[in-house]
Amino acid sequence: MRLLFMILTMLVSVSGAAQPTHWQTLAKGLDYTGIDTSTDGLGKLHAFRIDLNQYNVDLALAQDADPFTSTVKRLADQNEGIIAINGGFFSPERVPLGLRIQDGKIRHPLKTSTSWWGVFYVENHHAFIQPPKSFINKKGITFAVQAGPRLLVDGNIPNLKENFDERSALCITNNGKVIIAATDNAPISTLQLATLLKKSSTEGGLDCQNALNLDGGTSTQLYANVGGFYLSIPSFMPIADAIIVRAKNAKAILQSSARGSKASRTLSANKLAASINTNMNKKALVSGHQTKGSLAISKRAPSIILPQLKVLGSTPTPT
């Protein structure tokens, strides 16, 4: 089944002209899009576009809660995050590998021995990505995460591997906005991910100039709860850290999202039931992913993105 997803993904990449990317405004300075990555509609790349003038990006560490049971959703709930994604790599003991800066403080040191990694950081409300040896910590840097490989370097795609897996990434657009993205039932290579990130919105891409790959595979998790919009891509695998997005002016954001989601709330009960039934019927096509340790297989069901739903998709179950 995993091979089937790979073939479908490759067919999409060589098929006809892509549809332009449609962004849905969730609140002021916050947009969402979902890009199909397979011909059957099961696989998606979910992405959020964030204006750092309206939102703060920060780090939540599992060591401050429970390093062996923390998930992205749990860390988001504990830290008042409206959007959250898994962070960088970590050891079997759930210790983050590489630089982590939280609220301007270094929580884990820079790792300079892995040249193909990169450091994504926020300084004075602007995002940057640099190689580890070029990074200098200074006043004004409030957040940083180190991971890899770098997917885009000043608009260019470096040499990347063709291995397939679930992916998560951070990128910076041509106009300085931050994009948080993760695949959902869509094992793709880092090269394919970089290609999607680089493409313009008119070509069905995300207009990214620089991008960094995060810890993917079974660590891939994404969560959003903004007004009437809810999305959850779960995993049974605990993670060491999560990247959290918070609104600088929560009251204004909530008012904006309430206005923006008014039209989506008119979704009828019949359409809601049809959407759920369609997803249930497609479960048999979902691929399994081998995991580390004693847990054997995670079966990930497609996430449903609908207003006011609090339980979406299926929670992966180890078998």
Q: pLDDT at residue 46 above 60?
A: yes
**Among residues of the chain, what percentage have pLDDT more than 90?**
67
Q: Kindly state the average pLDDT of the residues 103-115.
A: 95
> Is the model more confident about 110 or about 309?
110
Q: Are 187 and 164 in contact (CB under 8 A)?
A: yes
In sequence order, which residues have a C-beta less than 8 Å from that of residue 50 and are 6 or more positions away? Answer: 29, 30, 57, 83, 177, 178, 179, 180, 245
Asked if residue 255 has pLDDT above 90, the reply is no
Which of 34, 45, 74 has the alpha carbon at shortest distance from 229?
Answer: 34
Would you say residue 280 has pLDDT above 70? no
Give the pLDDT of residue 67.
Answer: 80
Supply the pLDDT for residue 252: 58
Quick check: 224 and 181 in contact, CB under 8 A?
no
DSSP 283: G
DSSP letter at 293?
T
Tokens of 319: 């078998």
Average pLDDT score over residue span 294-317: 36
Task: Say what the pLDDT of residue 253 is.
Answer: 60
Residue 286's pLDDT band (boundaries 50, 70, 90)? Answer: very low
* Mean pLDDT on 210-226: 97
pLDDT at 44 over 50: yes
Q: Residue 294 above 50 pLDDT?
A: no
Question: What's the CA gap between 49 and 114, in Å, rounded?
Answer: 29
Residue 161 has pLDDT above 80, yes or no: yes
Q: What is the mean pLDDT of residues 202-217?
A: 96
Q: How far is CA 41 from CA 5, 45, 86, 186, 204, in A?
A: 11, 11, 24, 10, 15
Could you tell me which of 31, 10, 46, 17 has the C-alpha nearest to residue 199? 17
Express each pLDDT in 49-59 by its tens digit.
Answer: 999 999 999 99
Q: Helices then strands (H, E): number in the chain? A: 5, 19
pLDDT value at position 30?
98
Residue 78 corresponds to which tokens in the numbers above? Answer: 């504990």
Contact (Cβ atoms closer than 8 angstroms) between residue 239 and residue 114: no
297's tokens: 């297989």
CA distance 125 to 129: 14
> Across the chain, what does the average pLDDT equal?
80
Q: Which two tokens stand for residue 72?
A: 């992205």
Query: What is the Cα–Cα distance from 128 to 27, expressed in whole angstroms?
Result: 24
Tell me the Ramachandran region of residue 116: left when phi exceeds 0, alpha when psi lies from -120 to 50, beta otherwise: alpha
- What does DSSP assign to residue 170? E
